[in-house]
Structure 1
Amino acid sequence: MSTAASRREQIRRAGRGRWQSIFVTRLALFYARLWRGTAHFDDEFSIFVCTGLCGGFGRGGTTFGGAYLTKGNTARRVIRHEAVHADQWAHFGLTFPFRYLAEEARRHGPANKYEIEAGLADGGYRLPG
């Protein structure tokens, strides 16, 4: 398989085969390049991990489609957490960021249902109690 074909397959996998998520993944990879980040594909979790960014993301990192953008927050547990967000992008498509922000406005951080689903401990959230 050619390198270009292999990259297309990685993008398809990262987008979970859903066109809206694939589209957002491509945009995120372009955005990461603009911020001078480097992207590698994580086969285990089927997500692009874009590192070396000096800004352009929230908290320790942010997932857009099937691409996780961060300066260097790349622990395996974090990648597993972000892969669930990639699944959420694939499920909800372009409505996901609006759903996430609405949920965040109602239930901040560790109370956000999308963060709970992704795994609070894996995402670095302090657990209540």
Structure 2
Amino acid sequence: MRRILFDSPISRLGYLYATLVGIIWGFVWSTGRVERRGGLIVFRGLPGWAFARGGSCVGGCYLTDQNVSEEVLEHEVVHKRQWQRYGMVFPVLYFLAGRNPLNNRFEIEAGLEKGGYLPRRR
């Protein structure tokens, strides 16, 4: 089952579908700048209800108001890779991993410090 769902043509189709959804959502609600950064399509100026926490990665899109530091974008690129690996199963796996980012394996993999969940070490 893993070979069919993860790192497969099916997961890549799911990633492309999620990216299309992210593009549509971003263009509908973004009032700010839209640009490509670090392999992501970044949509700024979205209302707070249109994304979770400081921003949300949907496929290859990052949806936010203004949370676009280099560290945050590096964190979001890891989420993009997670979308590529798991496709449309990713939201289910993310939900099952829990809302607490300190215990969520996908947030830990993306980097808690870069994601703004922990203070940066000096």
Q: Which interval holds the TM-score relative to the shorter structure?
A: 0.7 to 0.9
| In 1: Cα distance, 2:12 partner to 2:93 partner | 18
Aligned twin of 1:31 = 25
Q: Secondary structure at the match of 2:118?
A: coil
| In 1: Cα distance, 2:29 partner to 2:89 partner | 25
Tell me if 1:117 matches 2:109.
Answer: yes
Give aligned-pair identity as a percent: 36
The answer for unaligned runs of 5 or more in structure 1 is: 1-16
Corresponding pairs, count: 107
Q: Secondary structure at the match of 1:29?
A: helix
- Give CA deviations for 1:52-100 in whole Å, capped at 9, x if unaligned: 1113000000000010000000000000000000000000000000000
TM-score (norm. length: structure 1): 0.77
Higher relative contact order (CA 8 A, sep 6+): 2
Q: Extract structure 1 runs of 4+ deviating beyond 3 A.
A: none
Aligned twin of 2:3 = none
| In 1: Cα distance, 2:28 partner to 2:57 partner | 16
Aligned twin of 1:58 = 52
How has the CA–CA distance of structure 1 residues 47 and 36 changed in structure 2, closer, same or farther, with 3 Å as cutoff? closer
Aligned twin of 2:79 = 85
The answer for unaligned runs of 5 or more in structure 2 is: 1-10
Q: 1:40 aligns with which of 19, 26, 35?
A: 35
- Contact (CA 8 Å) 1:53, 1:71: kept in 2 or not? yes
- Contact (CA 8 Å) 2:101, 2:112: kept in 1 or not? no
Supply the RMSD in Å over aligned alpha carbons: 1.6
